[in-house]
Amino acid sequence: MTLGSVVVVGAGLAGLSAARALRGQGFTGRLTVVGAEPHRPYDRPPLSKEFLTGTAEEPDLALERPDDDLGATWILGDPAVRLDAGRLELHSGQTLAADGFVIATGASARPFPGAVTLRSLDDARWLRHRLRTARSLLVVGAGFIGAEVASAARTLGLDVTVVEAAPAPLAGPLGAEMGAVVAGLHAAHGVRMICGVGVDRVDDGGAHLADGRVLPADVVVAGIGARPETGWLAGSDLTGLGLTDRGTASSAARTAAPECRAWSRSGTAPPGSSRASAGTCASSTGPRRASGPRSPPGPCSGWLRSRRGCRTSGPTSTGCASSSPGTPSTATR
Ligand SMILES: Cc1cc2nc3c(=O)[nH]c(=O)nc-3n(C[C@H](O)[C@H](O)[C@H](O)COP(=O)(O)OP(=O)(O)OC[C@H]3O[C@@H](n4cnc5c(N)ncnc54)[C@H](O)[C@@H]3O)c2cc1C
C-alpha cells in the first residue's frame, strides 16, 4: 500500500526521528506531528543535568536542526486520546485521518503523591526555579534521574538527602559493587544517602520513612522510574496490534489502523511488518544526543556523564547510610 498521509503521535525524539526517517526514505505525502506538550521537540537528558544547574538554556535543548525540512504540520499542546479505524482523536475534539500512524508517545514518570517528578521541560522549569530558592532537597529513589537531580542540587549548594529502598543506589542496573561506588561518589559530594528503607509517604512535614523517621525538606522529588505512555490508547480498538505494557507489537501487528506499527524497545520492527512507520511507546530508539548511550553503565558513562564529561570525581569506598535510625555512617554528613 502506498501511504498518502502519516500522523506521528508524539513530538519527542522518536517522533522527530520517525518524521525525518519517513522523509529520508522518500515519503512525499502529508505528514502531521501531534504533541501533547506545547513545545517543539527537545532533548530530555539535559533536563536533569545542565538545565537544572543553569549551564544550558532552553534554546540549547532544541532537537530540530536548521536544515530540517520536514514539510510537516505540527499540532502541539493537543494530546491524542484515541485511535480507531484509521482516525486519531485529539483532546480538543479534532480528528485526523491518515493512512499510517506512528506511535511515539514515550514514557511518563511514575508519580509519588506529595512529590514532584521530572520528565518534561515544564517540570524542569519549575524545579530549576525552585532549586534556586529552596535550601533542602529530598530525592525518593537513587536511580539515574534521582542521582542526577541530587548532583545538580548539590552543585547549587542545597542540602541533599536521597532515600533508596534498595541496599545501594543503582544496585539493580549496576550491581551491588558499582552501587557502592556510586554511593561513595554521592557521599564525596556531600549527598546524604540513606539506603535500605522506603519512603511511605510525603506530606508538608517532609518524607515519612518506613522505619519511622521523618525527614523535612523544602522540595521532594521522586525518581522512581517511568512507564510507557500508552494509557491514551486504552479505549482504542487496537486489539490486533499486540501492544503490551512495554510497548511491543506482535508479528501480526494488525489493527483497525492497518498501517499502524509499534516497535519493540530494541528498535527493531516486528518480523513480517512493513516499514510503514517507526517509533516506540517507551522508546529507546533514535539517535542519542547529549549524554550518550546508557550502556555500559558506570559512574563516568551514560546517564552520569554530562555533555562536558564526567562531573564526578574519583570513587571512594564509602557506601550508604544505614537504614537503622541513629546508626552512624561514613556516608552521612
Ligand atoms: C530528566 C531525564 C533525563 C534523561 N537522561 C538521559 C540520559 O542521560 N541518557 C539517555 O540515554 N537517556 C536519558 N533520558 C531518557 C530519554 O530522554 C528518553 O529515552 C527519550 O526521551 C525517549 O524519547 P521518546 O521520543 O521515545 O519519548 P519522549 O521523550 O517521552 O517523547 C514522547 C513525546 O510524546 C508526547 N506524548 C505523550 N503522550 C501523548 C499523546 N497522547 N498525544 C501526543 N503526544 C503525546 C510527550 O509529550 C513527548 O513529547 C532521560 C529522560 C529524562 C526525563
DSSP for 238-295 reads -TTT---TT----SS---SSTT-B---TTSPPPTT--TT----SS---S---TT--S-
191/73 same-domain check: no
16 CA closest ligand 1 atom index: 25
Closest among 164, 140, 160 to 150, alpha carbons compared:
160
The CATH number linked to 267 is 3.50.50.60
For residues 72 and 128, state if they share a domain. no
Tell me, in angstroms, the distance from the centre of ligand 1 to residue 49's CA: 15
* pLDDT recorded at residue 2: 82
Per the domain annotation, does 247 fall within a domain?
yes
Hey, whose CA ends up nearest to atom 31 of ligand 1? 12
What distance in Å separates the CA atoms of residue 61 and residue 47, rounded to the nearest whole number? Answer: 9
Residue 79 within any structural domain of the chain: yes
Report the mean per-residue pLDDT for the chain: 79
Which residue among 48, 81, 105 is best mutated to probe the pocket of ligand 1, counting the most ligand atoms within 8 A of its Cβ? 105
Do residue 27 and residue 93 come from a single domain? yes
27 occurs within a structural domain: yes
Q: Is the N-terminal amide bond of 296 cis, ω within 30° of 0?
A: yes
pLDDT of residue 326: 36
322 inside domain? no
pLDDT at 187: 96
Question: Do residues 12 and 139 both lie within one domain?
Answer: no
- Pocket lining for ligand 1, CB < 6 angstroms: 9-15, 34-37, 44-45, 47-48, 79-80, 104-107, 118-119, 145, 229, 232, 280, 283-284, 288, 291, 294, 303
Tell me, yes or no, whether 328 lies in a domain: no
What is this structure's pTM? 0.81
The alpha carbon of 52 and the centre of ligand 1 are apart by a number of angstroms equal to 17
Residue located nearest, by CA, to atom 15 of ligand 1: 45
- Tally of CB atoms within 10 A around 137: 25
User: Is 134 in the same domain as 177?
Assistant: yes
Q: Output the residue whose Cα is nearest ligand 1's atom 22.
A: 283
Domain extent at residue 153: 121-224+292-310
What pLDDT does residue 185 have? 94
Nearest 5 degrees, angle CA 287-CA 291-CA 296?
90
Same domain flag for 182 and 306: yes
C-alpha cell of residue 20: 525525518
- Over the stretch 46-87, which tens digit does the pLDDT of each residue have? 999 999 999 999 999 999 999 998 999 999 999 999 999 889
Same domain, 296 and 187: yes
Cα(227) to centroid of ligand 1, in Å? 11
134/265 same-domain check: no
> Are residues 263 and 170 part of one domain?
no
Same domain, 211 and 297: yes
The verdict on 171 and 297 lying in the same domain is: yes
- Domain count of the chain? 2
Q: How far is the CA of 200 from the centre of ligand 1 (A)?
A: 28
- 173 found inside a domain: yes
